[in-house]
């Protein structure tokens, strides 16, 4: 509802008219904004000036209901609030701006106050940076890093690593001089080409004025002048910028905390948690409860670290000269306590005797590093082997791959049941099988299929609990010994003083000087055999002592490395001892050698199951011992990764034009050649009585004929079509009949055989 009103008197408003506004409501609520003249000026009391005619104003208004009026009030209140907030914001901004200025002033004055200290710090960084550069330069010039490798390798007794580092120094020096020579040569060639031209230009310039020169020559000089000016300018800039740049770079270098100058900073390590340093070792040793050691520390003694704690593979190594009255054995005896003091498990802590009784070699594994297996066998999918270089066997505690030597090395592998002996032996033989010249004889003295996939690659193989296997293993030892004699003669005829079995000789098929590996699993069964044990032990000892030189080696595995089951001479003379988890110090020293347990080299600390596949080994590297995580090539639970490797090994043999030497003799009773045996035992006799023939057969091969009766003999003769004749009332077998039977049997084979003898692996 709208209404037109007369001259407004704001004090006299009808009740229901609370707000009257001009039609063109130009009055704004915003402060500072101009109100319209009608609203602001004309409606003011000044309008009542006497000289001014009072013009009645007409307002267009609206009569509001109380609710609408309340709403307008609220809106006005909100706008007033917003105006106040905006005003307050402006005040805060002003304060803040004045704050920033104050802060700037404070910071500037603080910086100025501390300027001398800051400059000193920067100078300090710069000096340190220059020092680091000098050290780096010196290290580079003197091959300090490689020399340190040589020193460490020498201390560790690692001849191979030492030789490698020394060779690297020589190679590096040669390359460096060659580079220098190349630079000098290039400079000389450039000087020879540019020098004369420059000399001519300088001379001409000195003798002639520019206007006297040909125009083009003067232009050349003009260009040269410009280039010269630019270069001069650049040089001036550089003379200022270079020192500044060097200063800035040296400050950055000085702030760098990464290892560079080795003795200024500790080597960076990812596994900071696992860090073991001399301080921790000293504290751990001080709390072992060893009387003389505790007294030494109490009296203020300081340990001498002949090798300071340093990263060594997956752990830390240190060598310590122990004080008077303390031996390394005493520390080794407290291994558990030492491990606890260092926050490690026993298996991760290896205190052993150094070069002398009073020198402690300590190697501590990084926490949890030994828990992982060795990973995939490097030759699983690809590759061949030079057995004279070694076979990948496992990872050392330092995390490096061990190339185990089979050539000239006899092995004794032992440990409690199910800890990985056969698997380790399998890995060694698998590696050897990938050298096409290697001949493998394998006997398993128990019912175990561990080596079944090897069959086609083996020249001799027998597996089982019965006596025939023991007999064949014994025969193999006898034959290996005879082979050794033969090789001795062949080797003696070779050039060289004295000639030595080598890769070169092994590669000559006619000589038969290739590596012959005779592996016997569960060998204690053979050595303890009541009929064949004594002879087997004697032959094994002779082979171990003398066979190496002729390329014949034994790899023996056993669950029971006691002196009753393994001859002492075998234990003493094998070069590589491998102990998986063992029960006691007797088994430990039986495998690793006398005194090893006392010296801290203990497979007793390996845990059944948990440390399956991990062994302590001696003789497989130049180090006193190795803790080895062996590679595992599975052959169990329907998983067979051995057969493909054997197939590859056979292909390698084929590619070299060889065949697997087949010396397989009588792997089962049925394969015994009865006729040949009869011919052998009849010898030069024309005929022998059947009773004599049977007796001689039993003597000849007890395993095969020991339980034969006359019926068995008769049946065998019938099968071979050899008649039993009568002579002076006795039943006899004639040599002539046996020979005829052999001829008739072999005839078809002989007629087929027109290809000549095949070259056999290694022969």
Ligand X SMILES: Nc1ncnc2c1ncn2[C@@H]1O[C@H](COP(=O)(O)OP(=O)(O)OP(=O)(O)O)[C@@H](O)[C@H]1O
Binding residues (CB under 6 A) for ligand X: these are 373, 415, 417-423, 559, 612-613, 630, 632, 636
Phi-psi domain of 584 (left: phi exceeds 0; alpha: psi -120 through 50; beta: other): beta
Is there a binding annotation on residue 638?
A: no
Is there a binding annotation on residue 448?
A: no
Phi/psi for 15 (5° steps) reads: -50, -40
CB of residue 640 to ligand X, shortest distance in Å = 12
CB of residue 422 to ligand X, shortest distance in Å = 3
CB of residue 293 to ligand X, shortest distance in Å = 38
Q: Please name the residues in contact with 275: beta carbons below 8 A apart, sequence gap of 6 or more.
A: 269, 316
CA distances from 531 to 470, 471, 502, 528, 534 (A): 9, 9, 37, 9, 8
Strand partners, 517: 440, 553
CB of residue 356 to ligand X, shortest distance in Å = 35
Our CB check for ligand X shows the closer of 415 and 590 to be 415
* CA dist., res. 160 & res. 154, Å (int): 10
CB of residue 582 to ligand X, shortest distance in Å = 11
- For every residue of 285-315, DSSP letters joined together read HHTS--HHHHHHHHTT---EEEEEEEE-SSE
Is there a binding annotation on residue 419?
A: yes
CA of residue 181 relative to chain centroid, distance: 38
* CA dist., res. 484 & res. 482, Å (int): 5
CB of residue 411 to ligand X, shortest distance in Å = 14
Our CB check for ligand X shows the closer of 415 and 453 to be 415
CB of residue 643 to ligand X, shortest distance in Å = 16
Residue 4's closest CA among 42, 59, 55? Answer: 59
Is there a binding annotation on residue 13?
A: no
Is there a binding annotation on residue 560?
A: no
CB 511 within 8 A of CB 445: no
CA distances from 545 to 156, 408, 531, 550, 656 (A): 28, 10, 23, 11, 32
Is there a binding annotation on residue 648?
A: no
Over 107-169, what HEC string results?
HHHHHHHHHHHHHHHHHHHHHHHHHHHHHHHHHHHHCHHHHHHHHHHHHHCCHHHHHHHHHHH
Our CB check for ligand X shows the closer of 362 and 578 to be 578
- For every residue of 431-469, DSSP letters joined together read HHHTSTT-EEEEEESSS-GGGGGGGGG-SEEEESSSHHH
Residue for token digits 């394969």?
A: 671
Tokens of 135: 């050290």
CB of residue 421 to ligand X, shortest distance in Å = 4
Whose CB is nearest to ligand X? 613
Our CB check for ligand X shows the closer of 162 and 398 to be 398
* CA dist., res. 706 & res. 728, Å (int): 28
CB of residue 420 to ligand X, shortest distance in Å = 3
CB of residue 442 to ligand X, shortest distance in Å = 14
Residue for token digits 């003295």?
A: 445
* CA dist., res. 399 & res. 376, Å (int): 13
Q: Which segments of 580-659 are extended strands (E)?
A: 614-618, 626-630, 635-636, 639-640
Our CB check for ligand X shows the closer of 436 and 590 to be 590
* CA dist., res. 502 & res. 388, Å (int): 8
Our CB check for ligand X shows the closer of 441 and 631 to be 631
| Angle at 303 (CA atoms; ends 302, 305), nearest 5 degrees | 135
CB of residue 524 to ligand X, shortest distance in Å = 11
Our CB check for ligand X shows the closer of 451 and 550 to be 451
Our CB check for ligand X shows the closer of 410 and 559 to be 559
CB 145 within 8 A of CB 172: no
Binding-site entries for ATP = 415-422
Residue list, annotated binding site: 415-422
């Amino acid at each position: 509802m709208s209404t037109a009103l007369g001259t407004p008197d704001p004090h006299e408003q009808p009740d229901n008219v609370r707000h009257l506004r001009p039609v063109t409501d130009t009055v704004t609520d915003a402060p500072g904004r101009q109100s319209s003249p009608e609203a602001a000026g004309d409606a003011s009391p000044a309008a009542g000036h006497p000289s001014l005619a009072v013009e009645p104003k007409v307002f267009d208004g609206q009569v509001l209901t109380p609710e609408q009026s309340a709403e307008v009030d609220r809106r006005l209140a909100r706008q007033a609030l917003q105006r106040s907030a905006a005003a307050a914001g402006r005040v805060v901004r002003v304060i803040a701006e004045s704050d920033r200025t104050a802060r700037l002033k404070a910071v500037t004055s603080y910086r100025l106050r501390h300027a001398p200290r800051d400059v000193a710090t920067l100078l300090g960084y710069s000096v340190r940076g220059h020092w680091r550069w000098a050290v780096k330069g010196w290290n580079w010039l003197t091959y300090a890093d490689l020399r340190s490798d040589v020193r460490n390798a020498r201390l560790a007794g690692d001849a191979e690593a030492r030789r490698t580092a020394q060779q690297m120094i020589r190679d590096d020096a040669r390359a460096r001089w060659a580079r220098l020579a190349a630079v000098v040569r290039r400079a000389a060639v450039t000087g020879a080409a540019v020098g004369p031209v420059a000399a001519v230009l300088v001379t001409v310039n000195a003798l002639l004025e520019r206007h006297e020169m040909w125009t083009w020559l003067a232009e050349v000089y003009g260009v040269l002048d410009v280039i010269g000016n630019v270069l001069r300018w650049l040089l001036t800039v550089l003379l200022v910028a270079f020192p500044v740049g060097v200063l800035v770079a040296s400050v950055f270098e000085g702030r760098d905390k990464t290892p560079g100058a080795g003795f200024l900073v500790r080597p960076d390590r990812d596994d900071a948690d696992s860090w073991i340093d001399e301080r921790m070792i000293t504290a751990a040793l001080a709390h072992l409860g060893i009387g003389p050691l505790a007294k030494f520390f109490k009296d203020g003694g300081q340990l001498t670290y002949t090798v300071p704690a340093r990263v060594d593979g997956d752990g830390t190594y240190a060598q310590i000269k122990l004080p008077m009255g303390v031996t390394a054995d005493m520390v080794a005896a407290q291994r558990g306590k030492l491990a606890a003091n260092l926050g490690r498990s026993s298996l991760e802590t290896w205190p052993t005797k150094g070069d002398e009784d009073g020198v402690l070699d300590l190697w501590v594994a990084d926490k949890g590093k030994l828990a992982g297996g060795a990973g995939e066998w490097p030759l699983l999918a690809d590759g061949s082997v030079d057995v004279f270089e070694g076979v990948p066997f496992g990872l050392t505690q330092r995390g490096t791959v061990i190339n185990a030597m089979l050539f000239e090395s006899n092995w004794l592998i032992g440990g409690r049941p199910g800890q990985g002996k056969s698997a380790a032996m399998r890995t060694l033989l698998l590696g050897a099988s990938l050298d096409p010249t290697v001949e493998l004889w394998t006997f398993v003295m128990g019912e175990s299929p561990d080596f079944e996939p090897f069959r086609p690659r083996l020249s001799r193989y027998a597996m089982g609990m019965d006596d025939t296997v023991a007999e064949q293993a014994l025969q193999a030892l006898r034959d290996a010994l005879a082979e050794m004699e033969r090789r001795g003669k062949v080797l003696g005829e070779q050039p060289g003083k004295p000639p030595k079995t080598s890769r070169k000789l092994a590669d000559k098929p006619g000589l038969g000087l290739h590596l012959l590996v005779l592996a016997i699993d569960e060998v204690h069964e053979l050595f303890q055999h009541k009929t064949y044990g004594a002879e087997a032990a004697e032959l094994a000892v002779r082979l171990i002592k003398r066979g190496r030189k002729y390329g014949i080696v034994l790899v023996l595995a056993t669950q029971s490395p006691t002196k009753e089951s393994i001859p002492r001479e075998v234990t003493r003379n094998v070069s590589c001892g491998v102990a998986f988890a063992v029960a006691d110090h007797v088994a430990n020293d039986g495998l690793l050698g006398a005194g090893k347990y006392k010296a801290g080299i203990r497979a007793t600390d390996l845990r059944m199951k948990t440390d399956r596949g991990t062994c302590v080994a001696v003789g497989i590297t130049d180090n006193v011992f190795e803790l080895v995580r062996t590679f595992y090539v599975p052959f169990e639970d329907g998983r067979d990764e051995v057969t493909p490797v054997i197939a590859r090994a056979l292909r390698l043999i084929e590619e070299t034009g060889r065949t697997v030497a087949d010396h397989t003799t009588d792997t089962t009773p049925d394969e015994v050649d009865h006729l040949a045996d009869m011919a052998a035992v009849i010898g030069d006799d024309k005929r022998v009585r059947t009773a004599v023939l049977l007796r001689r057969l039993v003597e000849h091969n007890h395993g095969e004929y020991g339980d034969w009766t006359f019926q068995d003999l008769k049946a065998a003769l019938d099968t071979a079509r050899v008649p039993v004749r009568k002579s002076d009332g006795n039943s006899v077998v004639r040599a002539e009949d046996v020979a005829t039977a052999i001829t008739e049997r072999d005839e078809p084979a002989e007629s087929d055989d027109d290809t000549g003898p095949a070259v056999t692996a290694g022969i």
